[in-house]
Structure 1
């Protein structure tokens, strides 16, 4: 398995996971069913959300470098199931079309400007793999048939989450600490938290020293935990468990 997914593989995963998302929606008995992992949303809201995301990122990639998102309005999604699924497929096509047209190196606006992830179309593609993958899990759970995340997407997803959502320059307001994430598929990462912010690295095995806290599980379980889909006790935690709560509550943009 690739250590880091290449751009074509990420486009393939966006397409595959988005198709799996629509398959789960098509199999659900009721579009008004509440989504257990997003309790404020019904299933049709989840479809609307992912379609909005695909269309807005397509517009941001197309626009290129900018000081903010394009603000391009997204048309209302239909309520009929067949029409809604067709609208969703069109949304995915718009995203993939923009990414294919401009490739992985186009500069564009992103919300993660102070993170370790670059502000490029390639980073957008990487994050959109996770958007489609996690929301496919949400849709499958709502339809009563949740499946583990694909291993290649999940392994890249742990690292993508740390790079994009955690490794920022904002000040960590607590005692310096380290957090390890161990995937049973054989890959590990260490997160360093300090007054200078957060950074992460791939971790050699065995680790040079114990971390302040760690969590072990499949790559799928780690991603689902990072995105608040499953609790910490679904994994094998060690060390100070309160560190995970402090990390979840930390907003580096406000630090």
Structure 2
């Protein structure tokens, strides 16, 4: 397993990618532009979603403890005028960041994921919000016609955070036991194992990756693998081996 990115680094990344998201909103031809990677959503819908998430998690970290019931959202909608929307987005991010700074990484809070590989702490919330800002910035750039490749550091942590938070569960896998390997050319490899005990993952050494015989495997850059996990690009845009249906089954199961 790789070491997690330090808490201050996560906060800096949230700040930077939230700013990049606002830049994409400012550059878009219209807030009504469709977001191809989020069918049925406009750029405004995407912005409202991201700001709502920042405010929601700020409330979670401030006001909950592990094991609490899921809190409700405040129901506030972002303004629809572009300059006001950009200010709202900035304020939403600052609410999240100031709350996380005040709480510190070890503060416990409610979270929707199973605390098997990703704990119910402010640090885990910060780590979860980085790919939210990162991937939604990609979405906003796509809506503007100028999507950018994800930086390697953020993409690698997005891959591992997704496997830890979203994919590590005790819900029984409904099919035959299987293994899915993800290979990022510049950053290493991971294996997801699914069976009656649920889903879990491990980092593979170079030797293990070379000798492994998984049910299926996918190969790409770290950016491509991360975008694939978030279903932003199709599997046939990457090199795949083995059971061609396993990745789709995993995505449908999740």
Query: Fold conserved (TM > 0.5)?
Result: yes
- Structure 2 CA distance for aligned equivalents of residues 42 and 233 of structure 1: 26
Correspondence for 2:97: 96
- Structure 2 CA distance for aligned equivalents of residues 113 and 181 of structure 1: 22
- Structure 1 CA distance for aligned equivalents of residues 123 and 45 of structure 2: 27
Correspondence for 2:49: 49
Correspondence for 1:73: 74
Which of 216, 230, 242 aligns to 1:213? It is: 216
Kindly indicate whether the alpha-carbon contact (under 8 Å) linking 2:114 and 2:168 is maintained by their aligned counterparts in 1.
no
Correspondence for 2:164: 163
The Cα offsets for residues 190-228 of structure 1, whole Å up to 9 and x where unpaired, read as: 111111111111101122421110111111111111111
TM-score, length-scaled by structure 2:
0.95
Identify the range of structure 1 (89-98 vs 206-215) with the bigger mean alpha-carbon deviation.
Answer: 206-215
The Cα offsets for residues 60-114 of structure 1, whole Å up to 9 and x where unpaired, read as: 0001305223324142211110000000000000000111000111111111035
Correspondence for 2:235: 232
Kindly indicate whether the alpha-carbon contact (under 8 Å) linking 2:156 and 2:187 is maintained by their aligned counterparts in 1.
no
1:115, CA displacement in angstroms?
4.6
Runs of 4+ with deviation above 3 angstroms: none
Provide the secondary structure at the position in 2 that maps to 1:157: helix
- Structure 1 CA distance for aligned equivalents of residues 87 and 152 of structure 2: 28
1:132, CA displacement in angstroms?
0.2
Correspondence for 1:145: 146
Correspondence for 1:203: 204
Correspondence for 2:249: 246
1:234, CA displacement in angstroms?
1.3
Say how many residue pairs are matched.
250
The Cα offsets for residues 101-156 of structure 1, whole Å up to 9 and x where unpaired, read as: 00111111111035521111111100100100000000001111100112111000
- Structure 2 CA distance for aligned equivalents of residues 79 and 157 of structure 1: 30
Superposition map of 1:16-55 within 5 A = 16-55=16-55
- Structure 1 CA distance for aligned equivalents of residues 146 and 239 of structure 2: 24
1:249, CA displacement in angstroms?
1.4
**Ranges in structure 2 where 5+ consecutive residues have no aligned partner:** none
Provide the secondary structure at the position in 2 that maps to 1:202: strand
Provide the secondary structure at the position in 1 that maps to 2:166: helix
Aligned CA RMSD, in angstroms, stands at: 1.3
**Ranges in structure 1 where 5+ consecutive residues have no aligned partner:** none
